[in-house]
Amino acid sequence: MEYAEGSTLYLFLLFLGWAVGGWLLVRRTFVLHRHERVLVGFAFGVITATWLTNLLAQVIPASYAFWLGPLFLLVTGMALSLPLDVGTLLREFKAALPYLICLGILVYIFTKVGQGLAIFDEFQTIPLVSLLAAGNVPPNFVLNPEIHFGYHYFLLLSAAQIMRLGNVFPWTALDLARSIILASTLLLGYLWAYRITKRTLVGWLTAIFLAFATGVRWLLLLLPGSLVRSVSESVQLIGSGAVSANSLQQAITSSWAIEGDGPFPFPFVFADGISHPFTMTYNGIGMTAVLILLLLLLTADRRRNIAGSILLVITISALALANEVTFGLIYLGFLGVVVVRLFQERSLKLPASMLPWIGILFTAGIIALLQGGMFTEIARSYVGRYSGQATESFYSNEFTVVWIPEVISIHLGRLVLSNPAHLLVATLEMGPILIVLPFVAWMGWRAIKRGNWYQAMFWMSGLVSLGAMFVVYTGSAGISSTTRILEGFINVCKLGFVPLLWVWSQNKKQFFRIGLAALGVAAILGGVIHFGISLTAAAKPAYTFFINDMDVKMLANNWNRFEPGALVFDPDPVRGVTVLGRYSFSSTTWGQTRKEWDQLLVAPDPYALRQAGFSYIYHDIGYWEQLTPQYQEALAHPCAQTVDRTDGYRSEKDFSKDYRVLLDIRSCLP
């Protein structure tokens, strides 16, 4: 590619900065075992450097911020580690080498699989990576720069760093960033389970469980047909579920209708609308939030000094930018811990050991209001409302309280737990991890009594998350977003499933141990099947469903070439944003276009487009053929100067002639 100053060497230096900087930092700030330091340090490096980059990119050019974030981390780690004991460092590296090899293998596998899939939110995430890499930090709405976009863009910013410094395409950068986070999460899950049980087997079983655990919707295949028919009649499919089939009974023997899947379709019956396998999190969040939760579990109660507290502040504020729901649940978990502690002691006096956590959470909360993302947009909306200078924001945050508990499945809709059919389906969707609920409560109670405040917050956040059964999100993101609240409970149970049940079952009869093993196998079956199908996509890499070879050539030649603030007109708006790294001005939401845009789409006069604020036009032959001769002639006006053009075919199956053309209309002045 030719569009940026990056290279493979620069990408290697970025990874080295994350790994070495984080390693040197954690070994002087936390009390960790030798075999833990390198992996924990690498994960902290990714989180801390990206957090620093986010702040820097808002005040200096992104090309500098993407370097200064990891460089500052590396310099700080080296400064805290002076004088360096090379012998000790080599011994630590040797102890961690098997894990690093495993990390590399997992990253390679997950990246290869990701390159063959273009599922879920790629129409939203890929253009955001392109805009972030071009320096739009924090980003506004991809299709309307006048609308503030309170989005959890932490993972996408990591991908943007990889894109800019490694000189790779945005979809490749996102696949790589997501794979690094996922692989790190699984290995930290191993470290945490091993610390609890001192068993290597339990560690690896935990990593496997985290990778594949999901619900057991597939058990519907084994139930009597009359029961399945009765359940199906009471369930209203939504989202991709409604696209897949007309009823649940039909859906369980159908393919999952999602765009951008691989050579073989996914069976709908092995999917899940509540508890997704970690290996199927192809969205804009990935496993970043769970990685941060594990980092805090491994380090929060092992601080050596004030530097450890500062690192916790950074990590928790990064969580607000990675997944605002998980961030909020941690704070609610802390509030629940305080209430339980006061009840235990029958006193309003808080223990002195809790006070540092009040300071850490307060500081991280203030940063969350200023750093970008959802909480910053919430703060902005309140300030604007009371100052009389309200600005338009993309997401609205509205909830409805329900008095009969229900859960929301993104495939099966609202499942009211007072309805026996809904209760059955909801139980299958959440899966065997439900049996860990009593252990979660017990672990939280024990952590509070022992004064292990972060662990107490963690377990309590899972219990607080169950409050999602009494609210329904009715804002602009749709009711399926309610499921994200319940994910707090789901993820806490997944993290605790193997190690907690292993400890509990040690003195139990073999019958119990075999039963628990069977439940574990049942929980991972759907995830294993879907991952196996995903593997077939690794042999056939794809860009993404709205990009083809001609767009790739255009991106390589023209990405981020043009003046900041320029708008691009493309009949397929997310395509133009991705290719050029510049905003469009087409829509008010993902599904609602502007009236002015609709008019320009059928009458693309270059003078009218220029007057509407556009500087460039990017289109294909299909759009050209839809236009009347009048507007075909208008696009050929001399003021619309051709910047670049690529020719090719419409698709791998359609060899009709096609092209992409990029026009500069800045000279088309009224």
Statement: residue 611 has pLDDT above 60: yes
* Angle at CA of residue 610, ends 606 and 613, nearest 5°: 145
How remote is the C-alpha of 68 from its chain's centroid? 24
pLDDT for res 399: 76
Residue 668 half-sphere exposure toward CB, CA atoms < 13 A: 26
pLDDT tens-digit profile of 525-579? 999 999 999 999 998 888 888 899 999 999 999 999 999 999 999 999 999 999 9
pLDDT for res 102: 95
Cβ neighbours, 10 Å, residue 447: 20
pLDDT for res 395: 63
User: What SS3 state is found at 141?
Assistant: strand
Nearest to 310, CA basis, from 363, 237, 368, 255: 363
Statement: residue 475 has pLDDT above 80: no
Q: For residue 399, what is the enclosing H or E element? A: strand 399-401
Are 307 and 24 in contact, with CB atoms under 8 Å apart?
no
The rounded distance, in Å, linking the Cα atoms of 594 and 50 is: 34
The rounded distance, in Å, linking the Cα atoms of 306 and 172 is: 38
Statement: residue 263 has pLDDT above 80: yes
Nearest to 176, CA basis, from 188, 164, 190: 164
Average pLDDT, the chain: 90
pLDDT for res 228: 92
pLDDT for res 645: 94
Residue with the bigger pLDDT between 401 and 619: it is 619
pLDDT tens-digit profile of 287-328? 999 999 999 999 998 998 899 999 999 999 999 999 999 999
pLDDT band at 621 (very low <50, low <70, confident <90, very high): very high
Render 605-667 in DSSP notation, one character per residue: -HHHHHHTTEEEEEEEHHHHHHS-HHHHHHHTSTTSEEEEEEEEES-SS---EEEEEEEE-TT
pLDDT for res 4: 46
φ, ψ of residue 33 to 5 degrees: the values are -70, 155
pLDDT for res 185: 97
pLDDT for res 390: 58
Q: Where are the beta strands (DSSP E) in 37-175?
A: 140-141, 144-148
* Tokens encoding 249: 């009974």
Tell me if the pTM is above 0.85: yes
Statement: residue 2 has pLDDT above 50: no
What mean pLDDT is predicted for residues 225-239?
91
pLDDT band at 364 (very low <50, low <70, confident <90, very high): very high
* Beta-carbon contacts of residue 301 (< 8 Å; ≥ 6 apart): 452, 453, 454, 455
Statement: residue 163 has pLDDT above 90: yes
Strands 567-569 and 614-620: parallel
pLDDT tens-digit profile of 32-55? 988 899 999 999 999 999 999 999
pLDDT band at 3 (very low <50, low <70, confident <90, very high): very low
Statement: residue 231 has pLDDT above 60: yes
pLDDT tens-digit profile of 60-85? 999 899 999 999 999 999 888 888 78
With 0-12 / 13-18 / 19 or more C-beta atoms within 10 angstroms meaning exposed / middle / buried, residue 563 is exposed
Render 52-66 in DSSP notation, one character per residue: HHHHHTTTS-HHHHH
pLDDT for res 609: 94
pLDDT for res 582: 96
User: What SS3 state is found at 303?
Assistant: strand
The rounded distance, in Å, linking the Cα atoms of 334 and 161 is: 33
* Beta-carbon contacts of residue 655 (< 8 Å; ≥ 6 apart): 649
pLDDT tens-digit profile of 108-144? 999 999 999 888 778 899 999 999 999 999 999 999 9
Are 403 and 470 in contact, with CB atoms under 8 Å apart?
yes
The rounded distance, in Å, linking the Cα atoms of 320 and 312 is: 13
The rounded distance, in Å, linking the Cα atoms of 88 and 92 is: 6
Statement: residue 264 has pLDDT above 70: yes
Statement: residue 489 has pLDDT above 70: yes
Cβ neighbours, 10 Å, residue 631: 16
Task: Give the CA dihedral 364, 367, 368, 373, nearest 10 degrees.
Answer: -150
Nearest to 251, CA basis, from 282, 272, 275: 272
The rounded distance, in Å, linking the Cα atoms of 227 and 424 is: 11
